[in-house]
Amino acid sequence: MPTSSILLSALALFGPAFCKPTAAPNTPLITCTPRPASPREQQAEFEKYADLLYVKRTPRPAYAYFTANDTQHNPYVLDGAAASFALVNPIYINHTNGVEMLHQGFQAPIGWVHWRLDGGGYPAPTAVVDVYRFEGACIVEHWDIVQTLPADAINPHALF
Ligand SMILES: *[C@@H]1O[C@H](CO)[C@@H](O)[C@H](O)[C@H]1NC(C)=O
Ligand SMILES: *[C@@H]1O[C@H](CO)[C@@H](O)[C@H](O)[C@H]1NC(C)=O
């Protein structure tokens, strides 16, 4: 019996009440609908976003905080949530890669996360700071700074 049939049989046996639906990889992204938000609301949204992305490692629901056409400053990614999601999603959902959030902060309308990445095609470990700008309830702009430990480092401290 192919795995898919076994899974389907399991679903039939246990019924939808027992299965947590997970969206198929090519399901269209649900992005943020522009609406007003106070600085306090923005901070709450940012903390939910950071938890979904860097702790729970679930980019799809995290991207509900991104506007569809955000301005992107990572030189390797085009503007828009779909473009950054295509890059980000495989890294975060693959738990072979280490993702550890170290610090986060928010001062309206800007939030930032300092985190450690091990893997994902980058030399391990890599230090990343992501900076996000909100307009109302949505993230509309992103910058990132990515640093690996150089071979000619003069300071003996680790990156972390
Ligand atoms: C994104 O789309 C919204 C709504 O269509 C528009 O108001 C806004 O100017 C766009 N932003 C950018 C950066 O293109
Ligand atoms: C998961 O990540 C590891 C390490 O970066 C990589 O070797 C592997 O190919 C990835 N798996 C998938 C399914 O992308």
Q: How far is the CA of 28 from the centre of ligand 2 (A)?
A: 23
pLDDT tens digits along 141-154: 999 999 998 889 99
Domain boundaries, the chain: 3-20+35-148
Q: Does residue 33 line the site of ligand 1, with CB under 6 A?
A: no
Residue that wins the pLDDT comparison between 150 and 73: 73
pTM (two decimals): 0.82
Q: Report the pLDDT averaged over residues 8-14.
A: 37
pLDDT value for 53: 98
Burial group, residue 127, by CB count within 10 angstroms (0-12, 13-18, 19+): middle
79-88, long-range: CB within 8 Å, 24+ apart, which pairs? 81/29, 81/31, 82/29, 84/142, 85/29, 85/59, 85/60, 88/53, 88/59
pLDDT value for 23: 55
Cα(29)–Cα(138) distance, integer angstroms: 14
Is the pLDDT confidence value at 137 over 60? yes
Q: Does the domain at residues 3-20+35-148 carry the CATH identifier 3.10.450.50?
A: yes
pLDDT value for 4: 42
Cα(5)–Cα(16) distance, integer angstroms: 16
Ligand 2 pocket list (CB less than 6 A):
90, 94, 96-97, 119-120
